[in-house]
């Protein structure tokens, strides 16, 4: 599918971008991969990491806030992966205008550039925080998701197909709980703070995140939201897996933090289909036809909700220890 194709990744110097490039180079023979981001130092480091692929990788300094620059970068592009965003919840709360400029205005700029350039498919990365949002970051990503799904109405016959993939914090990613705990442990700490002992999260590796994007590129007809079927874990069990003899201290839930990650709401159940490895929430627009539904799935029951708190599969402490070794070592 990606052989001899040109792919552009916004925010491509992040953890996802590195793993996406690794995956694509290992499984396909792309014509070109364009890394579009605004940090020249990260681009410099990434160029050094992939010196042997200098004939394939291109590095484009630019911000998704700059629509003209995006238009220039999109020339000749077949597929676009939109990973650029301001993601830190406290930073978005303190700098709401900046979050809106990047996460909402930037999304519109990417959509307009893709429409004008006539790319084939666009996949936007979303987050569990866009579901019933309680913080500004989640609110901006909800708007972004809606923009990308609705953009299909402007594509016309043969135009770009826009879809969304949704997952929570990737295991071990910056800002997630694993490096936070590890820093305490590395500095000799024996007590790990837990905001709420009831808290649960989904476990998804970078590789699974990339595979979900590839799935969306393969199967999307336009307007779908793709969600992986992944296990859950208790934050208290993660702490025990990282330091079995640790003491746990409940410190209180933070502003903008949820007890559980929610991927599919009960309101979405009427348009959600379950497949072997994922769910797909199909759009409900007048241009959508049910004949476009991917075969092999079944409609979930009315009122179905996919949450890390009600998941059928939970990782044990021992399974978490194994995943900490395998999934994080791949990063």
Q: Which helix (H) or strand (E) holds 25?
A: helix 15-27
| Bridge-based pairing state of the strands 278-281 and 225-228 | antiparallel
pLDDT at 218 over 70: yes
Mean pLDDT of 297-303: 96
Q: What is the pTM of this model?
A: 0.93
In tens, the pLDDT along 87-138 reads 988 899 999 999 999 999 999 999 999 999 999 999 999 999 999 999 999 9
In tens, the pLDDT along 136-187 reads 999 999 999 999 999 999 998 889 999 999 988 788 776 678 888 999 999 9
Decide which of 286 and 279 is more confident. 279
How much is the pLDDT for 140?
98
What are the structure tokens assigned to 190, written together?
């024996």
Mean pLDDT of the chain: 94
How much is the pLDDT for 100?
98
What are the structure tokens assigned to 205, written together?
């590796």
Q: Which of 70-79, 282-291, 292-301 has the lowest mean pLDDT?
A: 282-291
How much is the pLDDT for 130?
95
Residues carrying an active site annotation = 129
In three-state secondary structure terms, 285 is coil
Alpha-carbon distance of 331 to 326, in angstroms, equals: 9
How much is the pLDDT for 331?
47
| Cα radius of gyration rounded to whole Å, the chain | 20
Residue ranges of alpha helices (H) inside 190-234 are 206-219
Q: Measured in whole angstroms, how far is the alpha carbon of residue 46 from the centre of its chain?
A: 20
Domains for the chain: give ranges and CATH numbers. Answer: 6-169+203-229+262-310 (3.40.50.720)
Could you give the dihedral angle defined by the CA atoms of residues 182, 125, 87 and 132, in that order, rounded to the nearest 10 degrees?
Answer: -100
In tens, the pLDDT along 40-87 reads 999 999 999 999 999 999 999 999 999 999 999 999 999 999 999 999
């Amino acid at each position: 599918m990606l052989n001899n194709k040109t792919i552009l990744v916004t925010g491509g110097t992040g953890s996802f971008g590195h793993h996406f490039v690794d995956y694509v180079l290992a499984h396909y023979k792309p014509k070109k991969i364009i890394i579009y981001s605004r940090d020249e130092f990260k681009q410099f480091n990434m160029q050094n990491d992939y010196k042997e692929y200098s004939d394939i990788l291109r590095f484009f300094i630019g911000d998704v806030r700059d629509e003209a620059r995006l238009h220039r970068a999109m020339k000749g592009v077949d597929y676009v992966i939109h990973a650029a965003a301001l993601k830190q919840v406290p930073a978005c709360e303190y700098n709401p205008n900046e979050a809106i400029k990047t996460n909402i205005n930037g999304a519109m700029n990417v959509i307009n550039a893709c429409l004008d350039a006539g790319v084939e498919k666009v996949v936007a990365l979303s987050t569990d925080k866009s579901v019933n949002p309680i913080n500004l970051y989640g609110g901006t990503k909800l708007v972004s998701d809606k923009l990308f799904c609705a953009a299909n109405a402007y594509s016309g016959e043969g135009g770009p197909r826009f879809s969304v993939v949704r997952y929570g914090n990737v295991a071990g990613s910056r800002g997630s709980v694993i490096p936070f705990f590890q820093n305490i442990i590395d500095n000799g700490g024996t007590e790990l703070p837990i905001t709420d002992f009831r808290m649960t999260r989904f476990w998804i590796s970078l590789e699974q995140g990339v595979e979900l994007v590839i799935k969306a590129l393969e199967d999307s007809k336009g307007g779908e939201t793709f969600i992986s079927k992944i296990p859950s874990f208790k934050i208290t069990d993660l702490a025990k897996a990282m330091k079995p003899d640790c003491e746990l201290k409940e410190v209180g839930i933070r502003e903008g933090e949820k007890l559980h990650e929610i991927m599919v709401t009960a309101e979405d159940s009427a348009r959600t289909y379950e497949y072997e490895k994922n769910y797909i929430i199909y759009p409900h627009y007048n241009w959508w036809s049910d004949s476009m539904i991917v075969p092999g799935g079944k409609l979930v029951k009315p009122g179905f909700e996919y949450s890390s708190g009600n998941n059928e599969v939970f990782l044990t402490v021992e399974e978490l220890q194994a995943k900490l070794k395998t999934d994080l070592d791949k990063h």
